[in-house]
Amino acid sequence: MLMNRAKALKILELLEKKYPNANIMLARDKFQLLIATVLSAQTADKQTIKVAKKLFQKYGTPEKLAGASLKKIESTIKEIGLYKIKAKRIKSIAKTINEHYNGKVPASMEELLKLPGVGRKTANIVLGKGFGKQEGIAIDTHAFRISRRLGLSKGKTALAVERDLMELLPKEKWTRFTDMLILHGRSICKAQKPKCEECFLNELCEWKNG
């Protein structure tokens, strides 16, 4: 574990040097951040932000989104994948927040996980970026893939990888670590044809060229 922690800290240091301004922010308002994060599943951030902006111009509060018809929500977000499923989910989330949390996004992992369709990844993003709370590490496809390739975790589920990373990394870096892995995954450590020869983490990587 001590060797893994030293390696993790070195990786963290190199990532921070490469991506000093890493801060992926889909929205600043807490409710809008929550909804945009739900919309972002299997969707590029650029498209998510575009669609979310259009949605929030019409329904930017829990009350407004909860009161909108499902058809109107679907019509507004139809440019993103799985829009019918997402429309139903975000309407349910808005209704729950409006009715059970006085229109305020809950500020704890326990309460966020009670919202319809909200899992740990979304909750970690909302807590980290919306409330400045480091309660966990958001594990998206990039974080999952790269953590395993680097040998920081051999976990086969997002939760297992998250737990391993939480043991290895300083708590104050948890939210930022995900952002840096996302940027690294987009530019170098891609799912298909990763640019291993260009990677500044190559010497620390257990995967390399497969």
Which residues are marked as active site? 121, 140
> In angstroms, rounded to a whole number, what is the distance separating the alpha carbons of residues 197 and 201?
10
Torsion of CA 71, 74, 76, 77, to 10 degrees: 170
Place of tokens 């009350």: 63
> In angstroms, rounded to a whole number, what is the distance separating the alpha carbons of residues 85 and 66?
15
SS3 157: coil
How many Å separate Cα 203 from the centre of its chain?
Answer: 27
Q: Which of 142, 150, 185 is nearest to 168 (CA)?
A: 150
Read off the tokens for 112: 């966020």
Using alpha carbons only, give the angle 159, 84, 191 rounded to the nearest 5 degrees.
45
Angle between helices 30-39 and 83-100 (to 10 degrees): 150
